[in-house]
Amino acid sequence: MEEAKEAGARTGVRYVDVAVDQAGLRLDKFLGEQLPGVPRTRLFRIIRKGEVRRNGGRVTPETRLAAGDRVRIPPVRIVAEPQTPGPSASVIETVRQAIIYEDARLLVLDKPAGLAVHGGSGVQFGVIEALRALRPAETLELVHRLDRDTSGCLLVARTPAALRAAHAVLREGRSEKRYLALLAGRWTLGQKRIDVPLRTDTRVGGERTVRVDAGGKPSVSDFRPLQVLGTRSRGAPTVSLLEVTLHTGRTHQIRVHAAYAGHPVVGDDKYGDAACNAELRARGLQRMFLHAHSISFEWPGGVPFSASAPLPPDLAATLERLAP
């Protein structure tokens, strides 16, 4: 019996030059524009297999493209795939209510904890998909990312020009991002800069795991203590509230730097203190205590921008329960 052939047309090898207005795009985004309808998982797979090349060299999905780069796009079979359901009406409404500021360039959201910023890795959709469903006439792109369990300020660009400008600001270290984090134990290090490189490409059991590594990417965080909470005499674990300022934006940076300092983020199941997490969970904390409190920078031309998001009620309630 003749084997059934895979349905769908197969593209040929193409070489595409990156246009000026595409400069700064991540490779996965650029590839998605060139191969519409191909699932992100397949795009990531062909990139990681080395089938996609920039100027003849291997690349990663996160690679930023420059004007004039030549990208090799391999043959890909375009297969009609079943439509996956989009964000529900309740998720779209949650995201709509999370918008705390907007102007001609940006949307600012106070992202709820538990909601991914985008689909992928077992998540069908996230904030950006819900925003696109809410505003189908706009071209919306994430300026940066937050962990799924982190709440707070999330920036979304409304135009390609705004995306490129904001990416340049972040890439050049001209922004100030501040977080509030509750850490296990009594912090006794004072104001402390942690400047240790992080390797972000390690996977353990299929999950990304970031670790301190001399061969990793430069990573710098400033920790400033605000308050010590909890008393063993009252049966509550001792924890410390800190403000953390990021000077680089590595995956899981605060969580790994905090653990490296001996005071992991409370509620962090990957890098945290299991005993402390269990004690705080018994007192009502149901997620990681990490909140993107504020972000500020200057647009090209010196125009200032800043946004902030207050501590959400669940985290504020945890502080109240632990107060002396």
Q: Which of 256, 243, 187 is nearest to 217 (CA)?
A: 256
- Which CATH entry fits the domain spanning 174-322: 3.90.1170.30, 3.30.2350.10, 3.40.720.10, 1.10.3720.10? 3.30.2350.10
**pLDDT value of position 266:** 97
pLDDT, tens only, 19-31:
877 888 889 889 9
Residue that the structure tokens 């795939």 belong to = 81
- Residues near 78 by beta carbon (within 8 Å), at least 6 away in sequence: 8, 9, 10, 11, 35, 37, 38
Token readout for 128 is: 């950006």
Separation of alpha carbons 65 and 18, rounded Å: 7
Which one-letter DSSP state was computed for residue 120?
B
Separation of alpha carbons 219 and 259, rounded Å: 14
Catalytic residue among 28, 69, 110, 147: 147
Q: Is 147 a catalytic residue?
A: yes
Percent of the chain whose predicted confidence (pLDDT) is above 70: 92
Instruction: Name the pLDDT band for 6 (thresholds 50, 70, 90).
Output: very low
**pLDDT value of position 4:** 37
Indicate if the pLDDT at residue 5 is higher than 50. Answer: no
Which one-letter DSSP state was computed for residue 232?
G
Separation of alpha carbons 53 and 19, rounded Å: 16
Indicate if the pLDDT at residue 32 is higher than 60. Answer: yes
Mean pLDDT across the stretch 241-249?
95
Mean pLDDT across the stretch 50-77?
92
Lowest mean pLDDT among 52-61, 135-144, 203-212: 203-212
Percent of the chain whose predicted confidence (pLDDT) is above 90: 68
CA dihedral sign of residues 205, 211, 216, 222: positive
What's this model's pTM, rounded to 2 decimal places?
A: 0.75
CA distances from 98 to 107, 155, 181, 312 (A): 10, 12, 21, 12
Q: Where are the domains of the chain?
A: 9-78, 89-155, 174-322
**pLDDT value of position 210:** 94
**pLDDT value of position 3:** 36
Indicate if the pLDDT at residue 317 is higher than 70. Answer: yes
pLDDT, tens only, 132-189:
999 998 989 999 999 999 999 999 999 989 999 999 998 888 999 999 999 999 999 9
CATH of segment(s) 9-78:
3.10.290.10
Residue that the structure tokens 């998605």 belong to = 32
CA distances from 166 to 21, 224, 276, 298 (A): 14, 26, 38, 9
Indicate if the pLDDT at residue 221 is higher than 90. Answer: yes
Indicate if the pLDDT at residue 107 is higher than 90. Answer: yes
Indicate if the pLDDT at residue 218 is higher than 50. Answer: yes
